[in-house]
Structure 1
C-alpha cells in the first residue's frame, strides 16, 4: 500500500471516531432517527444537484440506500442513544470481521490462517468491550449488531457495483435513504420539529459534522480506497476507529475508563496489527481498476 493511502486511511478512521462524539452531542437535543434523516438531507442537498447517475447504477444505489442509509446509520444512531460513544463504536466494529468473512465466501478473497487469527484476536476485544456495563440491555446490543451487519453488506455491495464516483455514491445513497428513514422517524418518534427549533450547537454540530466530515469526506475516501484495494486489506484498519472513539469519549464526553475498555482496546489493536501486517502485500490494482467518472 502506498504511504499516502495509509495516511488517508488513518484520516478516515479518525474522522469516524470523532463522529461518534458528534452524534452523542446531537442526540442530547434530537431524536436519533430524525438526526439521521437531517444528516441525509444535508448530504443530498450538497451533492445530488451536481452528480448524475445512469440506469445501470440506479438499482445498486437503491439497495445501498437501505443497507447503508437505513440499516447501518439509523440503527447506529438509535443504539448510540443508549450507550457511550466508545462502547457503541466497538460493538459496531463487528461489521469488520463480518465483511472480511463475507468477502472470503462471496467474493472468493483468500484469508491466511494468521489473518484469521488476527481477526479472532480483534473479535475477542470486541466481545470484552461488549460485556461492559455501559451496554444497558440485550436489545441495545442487538440493534448495534444489526447496524454492523448493514455496514458489512454495504461494503460488499460497493465492491460488486458498477463504477460510481465516490461523491455520486455518497449523495444518492443519502437521497434514497430519506424516505425509509423519514417514515421510521414519523412512525416511532415525536416532536421532531420542536426539537430542531430548540436545538443548540450540540444538535446542529451533530448534523453538520456527521453529514460533511463523516459522510462526504470520510466515506468518499473509503469508497475510493475500496475500489483500489482488496477488502481484506482495507477493512482491518477500521478496527482502529473504536479505540480512538474510546479515547475521544473520555476526553470530550467524560466517559468512564473501566477494565473492559482497557483490555478490549488492547486486543483490538493487537489483532489489527496481526491482520494488517499479513495483508500489506495483497494489492488488487489488476482486479479493481481506477474509478472513472460517467
Structure 2
C-alpha cells in the first residue's frame, strides 16, 4: 500500500470516529431529526457540485437517501439522544452491512459473493469481540 493511500485511510477512520462524538455534542443543542436534516443538507450540497450523479434512476437515488439518510440516521440520532453511547452507536451502525446484502439478495435477486460472505464473517467476529471482550 502506498503511503498516500495509508494516510487517506487513516484520515477516513479518524473522521468516522470523531463523527459520533460530534453527533453526541450536536444533540445536546439540536433535536435529533433537525440535526439529521442539517447533516444531510450540508453534506449533499458540496456533493452535488463535485460528484457526478450515478447512472441510475431517480427512484433508487431517492429510496437510498430516504432509507439511509432519513431512516437509519434518524434512528441513530434518536438513540444517541436517548442515551446510547457514541462508541456503541458506531459499532451498531455497522450492522448495516448485513441488511444491505440481505435486502439486495431478497429484493433485487443479487447473488451473494464469497467476498461478501468473508466480509460478513469478519464483521461478525468484530461485533462478537465488541460484545464479549477477551
Per the TM superposition, whether the score is higher than 0.5 is yes
TM-score w.r.t. length of structure 2 = 0.71
Structure number with greater CO (CA < 8 Å, separation at least 6) is 1
How high is the TM-score relative to the length of structure 1?
0.36
- Is 1:34 aligned with 2:37? no
Count matched residues. 128
Structure-2 change in CA distance of 1:55 and 1:26 (3 Å): same
Matching residue of 1:83: 84
Q: Return the offset for 1:52.
A: 6.6
- The secondary structure found in structure 2 opposite 1:74 is helix
Unpaired stretches in structure 2, ≥5 consecutive residues = none
Alignment of 1:30-109 (within 5 A): 30-48=30-48, 53=53, 56-81=56-81, 82-96=83-97, 98=98, 102=102, 106-109=110-113
Please list, as runs of the form range in 1=range in 2, the aligned pairs for 1:130-209 lying within 5 A after superposition: none
Q: Calculate the aligned-residue CA RMSD, in Å.
A: 3.4
Q: Distance in 2 between matches of 1:117 and 1:49?
A: 37
1:11 is the counterpart of 2:11: yes
CA contact under 8 A between 2:101 and 2:112: conserved in structure 1?
Answer: no
Structure 1 stretches lacking a partner, 5+ long: 129-262, 267-294
Q: Which residue in the other structure is 1:174 paired with? A: none
Bigger radius of gyration, 1 or 2? 1
* Shift in Å, 1:46: 3.8
